[in-house]
Amino acid sequence: MAFRDRGIEIKTPEQIDLMRVAGRLVGETLELLRDAAAPGVTTQDLDTLAETHIRDHGGIPSFKGYSQPPFPATICASVNDEVVHGIPGPRALAEGDVVSIDCGAIVEGWHGDAAITVPIGEVADDVLELLRVTEESLWRGMAAARLGGRVTDISHAIETHVRAQGRYGILEDYTGHGIGTEMHMAPNVPNYGRRGRGPTIVEGLALAVEPMVTLGSKHTDLLDDEWTVATVDGSVAAHFEHTFTVTAQGAWVLTAVDGGEARLAELGVPFGGR
Ligand code: MG
Ligand code: MG
């Protein structure tokens, strides 16, 4: 795994405070979508809600127009065997589905990026367990980050948790990333690997951590729309993401509505928010 060490953007405390504004808006938008996702609701409906909420609160949807071909929507909505980058459309969510919703917003030039996977109605036990394992691995990953530690300390904690829970696929072709004045920046943050590698975690570094885990294969296909990433074996996937930073006081989850305070406390990690 080659790391993009160069061009790592180190933020001032004031700039991190601005990232918190963007991050909180993303977190609040996702909570709105979690409540709205239900049988019969289309992924386009969720996208419209997200765009309206972000713009009404002074943000700009960061995914819209991103890359080539330009991503056409505010959220990525990936259903069941789709892992990430699904394009919202007329598909109605059905009882037993899971939908992974990825959302990004820019406020005053600073980015927030986060994702949740939401069960629709009654969902199979193994799928619910996949969601729990993936979300917990995200928190364990962030909890492993310390000032003076290294980026793969996060990667290692994610992989270790997932592997201890059962036979799951962890995507290797997609990773977390640095974030700040752009959505995707150095360094990349893999969801597997040995600890003690990659760039040093310093105050002012902001990272988007995003485990992508499946009930089967770690291998994926890119669908004909040139965006949607789906598992090759049709197995169900989960994706959870937060943008976070480490201050001298502890960890601060910029895209969690409460800054991560409650969940970090459960993990014995000091809260570093302001
Ligand atoms: Mg994202
Ligand atoms: Mg991301």
pLDDT tops 90 at residue 99 = yes
Which ligand is closest to the CA of 207, given by its number? 2
CA distance 218 to 169: 4
> Is the pLDDT reported for residue 67 higher than 90?
yes
**In this predicted model, what pLDDT tens digit does every residue of 195-204 receive, in sequence order?**
999 999 999 9
Indicate the domain borders of the chain: 6-266
The band of 1, judged by pLDDT with boundaries at 50, 70 and 90, is very low
Give the homologous superfamily in CATH for domain 6-266: Creatinase/methionine aminopeptidase superfamily (3.90.230.10)
**Mean pLDDT within 90-118:** 98
| Spacing, Cα 138 to ligand 1 middle (Å) | 13
Structure tokens at 49: 């809600």
Rounded to the nearest angstrom, the distance between the alpha carbon of 76 and the centre of ligand 1 is: 8
Task: Indicate the average pLDDT of the chain.
Answer: 97
Residues 217-256 have pLDDT tens digits of 999 999 999 999 999 999 999 999 999 999 999 999 999 9
Q: How far is residue 180's CA from residue 177's CA, in Å, rounded to a whole number?
A: 10
C-alpha 13 – ligand 1 centre gap (Å)? 23
CB atoms within 5 A of ion ligand 2 belong to: 113, 208
Burial class (CB in 10 A: 0-12, 13-18, 19+), 101: buried
Report which bound ligand comes closest to the CA of 184.
Answer: 2
Rounded distance from Cα 241 to ligand 1 centre (Å): 6
User: How many whole angstroms from 184 Cα to the centroid of ligand 1?
Assistant: 9
- Residue 242's nearest CA partner among 207, 197, 204 is 207
CA 242, distance to chain mean position in Å, is 5
Ligand 1 mean position, distance from CA 123 (Å): 24
* Among the bound ligands, the one closest to the CA of 185: 2
